A and B are shown apart, each in its own frame.
Chain A
Amino acid sequence: MSGAWTPFLEFLFLRRALVGSAILATSMAPLGTLLILRRMSLVGDAMAHAVLPGAVAGFLLAGLSVWAMALGGFVAAIVVALLAALISRRTREYEESSFAALYLIALATGVAGVAATGGRVDLTHLLFGSVLAVDADGLVLAAVVATCTWCGLALLYRPLVLATLQESFFDGTHVAMLVQVAFTTLVVMNLVAGFQVLGTLMAVGLLILPAAAARHWATRLEALLGLSATIGLAAAVAGLMLSFQADLPSGPSIVLCAGLAYLLSVIASALRAHARRLDG
């Protein structure tokens, strides 16, 4: 095991990527738990795809600056979130296909934008992340976003749970809407902070997979939040090791590890259900 840690001791860029993705994993996973419970996984996916054209626009305007690309990604994802909200309000029955349409449009715009940069931006890095990409600014961004997320979740926790359980509790007030806006903003901030190490296509992985895996083990909401963060953290560390050892992009490596945790959880859960049926 100590051999696996050696590269992290040796290379500064790996340590940066490790710290960055570990911070994000502990902030994204609990957020993802609530995202799933609020049935917003698809919206999360659409918003993640929107980060790409936004980041490219930021690059075209201000060059290779983390802050410019993050701001561009943030604005684009918020636009998609607003469009998604508008669509789900107007056309309830076509919600799912509308979200799919949104993320296809966002992805196509982003790829076209990358082509417009004339090869100055590496599409693979943007889509799938790169351990080399995490600089000091990227770490600060991750830390700021994670701190905002933890504080925001603490503040939002009770109204968020209530609004998720029974939205009608807040009928006639603006509480449910304010909670939704604040929550969506936190999700977008995390997706934006995640695009360096995870890539825009994979950022949503640390949001959804650890939370989906944890749902097979935890029965209490508090446990679910804690367990999803733990699974996310483990996936981030294991994924970075895999990325370095197998020379894979960091985003897919981390998502593969989270995906493995998810699949094992599904199998364990199916085996438990089977054993219960045999007992009963």
Chain B
Amino acid sequence: MSAPVAEVAASVALESIHVRRGAVLALEDVTGEFAAGSLTALVGPNGAGKSTLLETLTGRLQPVRGRVRCPVPRPEIAYLPQLARIDLRVPVTVADFVALGDWCRVGALRGIPERLRQATVEALHQTGLEALAARRLAELSAGQLQRARFAQLLMRSPRLMLLDEPFAGMDEETTTRLVALIRGWHRGGLTLVVVLHDRELARELCPRTLLLDRRVLAWGPTEATIAHHRWRHVA
């Protein structure tokens, strides 16, 4: 499997960040580091600030106190928000949607280069969507749509990948495919942060875990973090 290879792995350090969401302080005094090339499960109960942390890493939200040391320029951060944040009324095909992932490098006016066409075919192949390339996004099932979003991520060559509940509501086959893709990215040297609700999946997939409930409850090797804090299964 060809995964995008990061030229220089990226580490991200959080220095005592406090982040507000409306009137609520969603994150409080979060300190720690996502090491270069690490794969971290981000876990915690609903409302723990997991999505807020990802949105802070993308730069959408700014900490009211503290600092994020993220040496990665924004185009090299790939962020997959929860499935609900995509507007299916826009009638584009799966192939177009996937190709748009590389928009930054193609630009606004140029024709679609052959390299991009081939990369699109390859991304569709890796996610098992070849047969659905000409379908509209709105015609896909939730699992197929999630695969299309992963195919779009494949089109980019990010150094930091942030995935918000990528397996929520997915069937076993889709989960297996997506897990394989994430493993490929990890081997390729990307720094990955994945919001998960499933303890077994965290154990299986992620060497490190950050347990969050507005504050850092634990941040370290997955086994130790889970055992130490008797993290309850919240899925």
A-side interface residues toward B, CB under 8 Å? 37, 154-159, 161-162, 164-169, 171-173, 218-221, 224
Contacts and interface: CB of A to CB of B under 8 A. Distances in A.
A220 B60 contact: no
Contacts of B91: 218-221, 224
A161 B87 contact: no
Contacts of A168: 58, 60, 79, 81, 85
B65 interface: no
A161 B92 contact: yes
A37 B138 CA distance: 13
A173 B90 contact: no
A24 B91 CA distance: 24
A156 to B, nearest CB: 7
Contacts of A154: 108-109
B77 to A, nearest CB: 7
The 7 A-B residue pairs with the shortest CB-CB distance in the complex, in nearest-first order? A172-B59, A171-B60, A171-B58, A172-B58, A168-B81, A172-B74, A173-B74
Nearest to B57: A172
Nearest to A167: B85
Given A171-B58, A171-B60, A172-B60, A159 B108 contact: yes
B230 interface: no
- The winner among B77, B92, B106 for most chain A CB atoms within 10 A is B92
A172 B58 CA distance: 5
A165 B108 contact: no
B228 interface: no
A94 to B, nearest CB: 15
A222 to B, nearest CB: 9
Contacts of B92: 161, 165, 220-221
Contacts of A37: 87, 89-90
A155 B110 CA distance: 10
Interface of B: 55, 58-60, 74-75, 77, 79, 81, 85-87, 89-93, 97, 100, 103, 106-109, 136-137
B97 A171 contact: no
A interface secondary structure, majority: helix
A221 B137 CA distance: 12
Contacts of A218: 91
A88 B99 CA distance: 31
A156 B109 CA distance: 9
Contacts of A220: 91-93, 136
B108 A155 contact: yes
Contacts of A165: 86-87, 90, 92, 97, 100, 137
A47 to B, nearest CB: 21
Contacts of B107: 158
A153 to B, nearest CB: 11
Contacts of A173: 59, 74-75
Contacts of A224: 91
A156 B107 CA distance: 10
16 contacts: A37-B87, A37-B89, A158-B100, A158-B107, A164-B87, A165-B86, A165-B92, A165-B97, A166-B85, A169-B79, A171-B79, A172-B58, A172-B74, A220-B91, A221-B90, A224-B91
Nearest to A223: B91
A159 B100 CA distance: 9
A157 B86 contact: no
Contacts of A167: 85
A158 B87 contact: no
B51 to A, nearest CB: 11
- The winner among B77, B103, B106 for most chain A CB atoms within 10 A is B103
A157 B136 CA distance: 18
A148 to B, nearest CB: 15
